[in-house]
Each structure stands twice: as structure tokens, then as C-alpha cells.
Chain A
Amino acid sequence: MSLIEWDDRFSVGVASVDHEHRELIALINATHDRLLRPGAEAAMPDFLGEIYARISAHFALEERLMQEKHYDHYSEHKADHERLLEEIRDMMDDYEDSNFFNEQRFSGKLQAWFTGHFRTHDARLHQNLG
């Protein structure tokens, strides 16, 4: 079963943003699937690096859209992006530096990390951009 299922409530009403959200969900699910199979530890840095790059690009696009529309909560939303990127970087460093790795906990973190931002900031963005 997938870690995160696409939900129409996730839609912000901007085709490009929705498309990237779907892609990110697919990437996180693929990471989760890979975690459950043998040899996950060796493959994880690649997946995390990819998520980091994709999410960076996605935020860059979202930030441009917000700036173009003079979105009033831009700085808060941007700050949340920065926080999320720091968190994924923490996960990457934790992974690199620790000998102990807990798949379950890691999956949980990824899911919470992704959907948390959705429920708050992107939902508000939806009302404003959509």
C-alpha cells in the first residue's frame, strides 16, 4: 500500500503545482516501497537526495507563483518551505551519520513532513490562488 494517497483536497487549483504534488507523492511512495525491500540502506541516500532536489525546485516554482500574485502570506509560506528543507536535510544527515536506522520511524517522518505542510500552508494557498 502506498504511504500517501492523492486526495482531491490536496489540490490547490493550479495545474503545475498539483502536478508536482502528485509527482512528489509518487516519489515519496517509491522511497517508502524501497525501504521495505532488502538493501534499502544503500539506496536511501539517492532517494533522499532526489526528494531534496525535487522539493527545492517545487518550492522555487510555488514561490514564484506566490510572488507574481502578491500572495499576502508569502513570507510565512516561504519560511515554512525553508523549515521543511532544513528538516529533509536533517533526515539526510541523520541517515548519513547514524548506524542505527529505523524504517518505520523514517516513513512516519516523511509522511508527517509532507502532509503537514499540505494541511496548513498549501490549503490556504489554494483559497487564494485557486
Chain B
Amino acid sequence: MIKPIQYASRQAFLRLENAFGVAFGPKTNPFYHLGALSFFFFWVVAVSGIYLYVFFETSIEGAYRSVEYLTHEQWYLGGVARSLHRYASDAMVVVVLLHLAREFALDRYRGVRWYAWVTGAVLLVFLYASGIGGYWLVWDRLAQYIAVVTSEWLDWLPLFSEPMARNFLNSAAMNNRFFSLLSFMHIGIPLFLLLGMWIHIQRISQAKTNPPRVLVVGSLLAMTVLSFVRPALSQAQANLDLVAGTVQLDWFYLVLYPLFDIWSPGTVWGLTVVSGLLLLLLPWLPRKKATPVAMVDLPNCNGCGRCFADCPYSAVIMQPRTDGLPFENQAAVDPDLCTSCGICVGACPTATPFRRVTELTPGIDMPALTVRAMRERTLAATAALTGPDRVMVYACGAGPDIAAFRESGVAVLALPCVGALPPSFIDFVISRRHADGVALVGCVEGDCYQRLGVEWTGQRVTGQRDPALRSRVPRARVAMFWVGPGGVPELLHRLASFRGKLRERGPYQKGEAAHHPSSKLDQAHNVTY
């Protein structure tokens, strides 16, 4: 049941993202920054909210009046702040829901990633409570409608000694203190939301909380223009002595409110609780098949910390030495955090295929595909190659379909992530002439399934990050392709052109890199046609 939905939504996202990719380019594609955009919109809401709070009066009469003053008298500043407050919070709902749907579609919510999913799902409650509370404060007809419906809904639970809805029976029943309480809640709940957002990103390293500048400037500009063109306005002032007739709903926050017209509070509670539980339990419906986690081999670990620096999930920790050797630290793996991506192995300086085969155990290794197995499979795969354009492809298992390469006459090894490849494998394959060139195939840049594998690989190959690919390796014999699921035909085309260049170049000569210092890395980022 879940698989077909996931597949269909993945296809839908793919089409959307490719369309956005054409307009925005790969690095600023908003779909790769949905989480960071949520943070950004939160800050816009917070800053505009602080400004509004300065002028807001927490009384029945004052609330509506002060918002009207801000909107009309002080339209150039207060009105814009109000509109930004509205539009940024609407935008936040959109990016948050897209973020949630996308992580689901790309299967990035199960296994050890349950934590971000569950904390994120809980955050939805805070997000909606913040938004709905905001509408309440304006105290117009819409606020009145929300007040009555929401309190009737909450009263269905035996929470309060006196029904909350009693406050809204008529204008005499309402008091100013209730308004102070509401405005404090509208500050308190968003603060909890922020705290929750911080908790949400605790289990990943280098979480992206700032979107690219183009998106920041662009969306701020768009919202500002919108604020002038279509400022956020109040509806008629609330009057508890009248029954709210027609109200215009905000479809971002109040999308479920029409249900209250059809169903009883109990039914809506049932629906909310069941769908909430379903959302929370989704990572275990079904649970992800567990892959054995990374293993540290102390005799081969000197505590250099490179795996610790590169792990995208903070699953590698450095702890005091336990085996008596005079090193300060050793690496240790937290199995609750490890996704078995192997990026730590790609970072380990002892993970080199040049080592003696019988003892090829690196300081950190993946049981599902050990470095020793990686070496053996590389040798077996390349042994079958012939001709002047032999290419060894190391491909991300979560990326494009590998069967497509096999038929095209290259050797292929699938890795849990392209970042699991220690760069010295590239040196090994080329200098020992097991192949004439090496191609690395990974997920679309900026959207690596294992978060940082593609980024680290790019930096290692271009010499910006340790362990760096040695400068002796002629870069013209190395190709990097970061490919979306729809980019396979284009990738095969580029792979063929890479092989053409290798044929022109002839067999590898020692010192080739030094003789051709300008030899360029063959890279095609984001092949997503």
C-alpha cells in the first residue's frame, strides 16, 4: 500500500524538481532546501511578529483596532509587517508540508531516520497551533469563527473545568484577560516550535538551516511585493452577539475547519488522532530492513577523526582510548544513528586498496561491503574489460539504475553511497591500469540521499578535502556524474563521450598528470533530463 504511493509521489516530485531545476539551477533548486526554507520563513515571521507586537493591544476592543491601525494608517510599515507575517507563515506551511512529503517520497524517514520524522511530525502540531492562534488575535469575524469552533472542539475533551466556549457565548462573557493569555500563547507556542526545530536537526551533522542567498532574497522580495499588492486585511470586527455568517478561510492553516461543519467534534478528534498516529508510526510501517552498521577496528584506528568529520549523521563519535595504546582517542559508532552509508570508510586513511590483501582491514569498515570486498570486486569487474576505453564505474546504490551501465560495456560497482569510496581506489585502478578511467556516479548535487556523500566526494576528488585524490592521478581520466533518477539516458551518452576522450588519450602513462597539468576533470553535475 505504501510503496505505490511512495513511487507515485516520487515521480511527481521528480517532474516538479526538474522543472524548478531548469529555472533555478541545481544549487538553488528550492526543493533541495525545503528544511532550510522553513527556518528562513520562521525568522521572517518572528521578526515581523516582534514589530507587530509593539503596537498590538491585548484587549477585546483594542485588538481589532490596533491591527486596523497597523494595516491602514501605518500601511507602509505596520501593514507590510502584518502581510509579511501572514505570507511567510503561509509559505512556512507550504515548505514544511512539501518537506514532509518529499522525505516520505524519497524514503528518507525510516531506519535511523525515524527520529527526524517523528520530531517533525510533532512539530506540525506546534506549527498549526501557532498559525491558528495568530488568526485568533486579530479578532475579526474569521477569528470569532475560529474561536467558537476551536473551543467547541477542545471542549469535547474533558480538559477544562469550565467549557472554554463559554467565553464566546456573547460579548459580555468575553474578557480582556483572555486576550492577554492568547497573545502570550501566540509567543510561547512559536518559541516551543523553534525549540522543536532545533531538536529536529540534532541527529544530523551540518544541518542546512540557511537557504541559498538567491532564495532568501527572492522569496523576501516576492513576499514584500505581494504585501503591497495584496495586503493582508481583517474581515469585519468580531461581534459575539451575532453568529458569524460567511467567513473567508485561510486555506493554509484552516484547511480542516470545514470538517467541523460536517462532523461532530468527536469525529474530528478521531480523525486527527488516527491520522496523527499513522504519521508518527509511518517509519515502522514497515520498518526499514536493517543493514549492519559501521564497525571500528581498533588496531587500525589511530583516532585521526576523519570519519568523525565526514559522518553526515553524527553517528561516529571520538571517545577516549580503551585498548591501552598511547593514542588519545578512538572512533566509535552509535548504531542508533548509523545509516550504513559508508561515508566514514571513504574518509579513512587506512582504507586503501594498495595495502596487502590479506590484512586489508581499515580502521572503520562496512560489514555489508568491506573495503577488502570492494577491492576484490573492482579487480573482478575490471578483469572482464577490454579495449582502449575501459571504465570502472563506482555508483551510488540509491541513484540511477545500475543495470543500464552494465549493458553499456563498463565495469560497475554499486556502493551504499558514492562517498563510501576511498579516493585511493581511483588512484589504484588507474595507476595499476585496471581501467583507463574511473567514473563516479552519485545522486543529484545538493540532494544526496546520504546528505553529504556527493559533496564530500567532489571535494576529495578536487583536492579540497582529506583524504584527497592524489594530484598524480590525471583528472582527465576521472569523471563525476551526479544524476537524478530520470537522467540515465543522458548519463549513458556522457559516459560514451568520456570513453571517447579516453580512447583519444591512449593508455595511462606514468607522470601523465605532470605532463598535462591542465587536464580537466570530466564532470557533469546534475544530469536530470
Contacts and interface: CB of A to CB of B under 8 A. Distances in A.
Contacts of B328: 16
A56 B352 contact: yes
A54 B356 CA distance: 12
A39 to B, nearest CB: 15
Interface stretch (A69-77, A90-98, A108-116, A118-126): A90-98
A64 B350 contact: no
Interface in B294-315: 300, 302-306
Which size bracket describes the interface of B in this complex?
20 to 34
B510 A64 contact: no
B510 A61 contact: no
B363 interface: yes
B350 A57 contact: yes
Nearest to A15: B326
A57 B301 CA distance: 8
Among A20, A58, A64, A89, the one with the most B-chain Cβ atoms within 10 Å of its Cβ is: A64
Contact of A20 (B302, B352, B431, B466): B302
A52 B352 contact: yes
B354 A52 contact: yes
A49 B355 contact: yes
A49 B327 contact: no
Interface in B468-495: 470-472
Contact of B304 (A47, A61, A85, A90): A61
B134 interface: no
A103 interface: no
B349 interface: yes
Contact of A89 (B300, B349, B357, B472): B472
Interface in A18-64: 18-20, 45-50, 52-54, 56-61, 63-64
Contacts of B306: 60, 64
Contact of B427 (A48, A63, A89): A89
Contact of B431 (A45, A57, A93): A93
A16 B302 CA distance: 8
Nearest to B302: A61
Contact of A64 (B304, B354, B427): B304
Nearest to A62: B304
Contacts of A86: 470-472
Nearest to A88: B354
A53 B354 contact: yes
A19 B327 contact: yes
Contact of A56 (B327, B349, B357, B510): B349
Given A49-B356, A50-B355, A57 B510 contact: no
Interface string B354-382: 11110100010000000000000000000
Contacts of B303: 16, 61
Nearest to A68: B305
A57 B304 contact: yes
A109 to B, nearest CB: 17
Contacts of A47: 356
A56 B326 contact: no
Contacts of A96: 431-432
B240 to A, nearest CB: 66
A101 B11 CA distance: 59
Nearest to B427: A89
Interface in B411-440: 424, 427, 431-432
B462 to A, nearest CB: 15
Contacts of B265: none
Contacts of B467: 56, 60
Contacts of A56: 349-350, 352, 424, 467
Interface string B314-331: 000000000001111000
A63 B349 CA distance: 12
A128 B271 CA distance: 67
B470 A49 contact: no
B355 A57 contact: no
A46 B350 contact: no
B352 A49 contact: yes
Contacts of A89: 427, 431, 470, 472
Given A16-B326, A20-B302, A50-B356, A57 B363 contact: yes
Contacts of A16: 302-303, 326-328
A58 B302 contact: yes
A48 B354 CA distance: 8
A60 B331 CA distance: 14
A70 B431 CA distance: 36
A53 B427 contact: no
A61 B327 CA distance: 10
Contacts of B327: 16, 19, 61
Contacts of B348: 57
Nearest to A54: B350
B352 A60 contact: no
A120 to B, nearest CB: 22
A16 B356 CA distance: 24
Nearest to A67: B305
Among A20, A52, A57, A61, the one with the most B-chain Cβ atoms within 10 Å of its Cβ is: A57
A60 B354 contact: no
Contacts of A53: 349-350, 352, 354-355
A3 B448 CA distance: 49
Given A92-B354, A97-B510, 5 more contacts: A45-B354, A47-B356, A57-B349, A61-B302, A89-B427
Interface of A: 15-16, 18-20, 45-50, 52-54, 56-61, 63-64, 82, 85-86, 89-90, 92-93, 96-97
Nearest 10 pairs between A and B by C-beta?
A46-B356, A60-B304, A49-B354, A15-B326, A56-B349, A61-B304, A57-B349, A16-B327, A60-B349, A19-B326
9 contacts: A16-B303, A16-B326, A18-B326, A48-B354, A52-B352, A56-B467, A57-B300, A85-B470, A93-B510
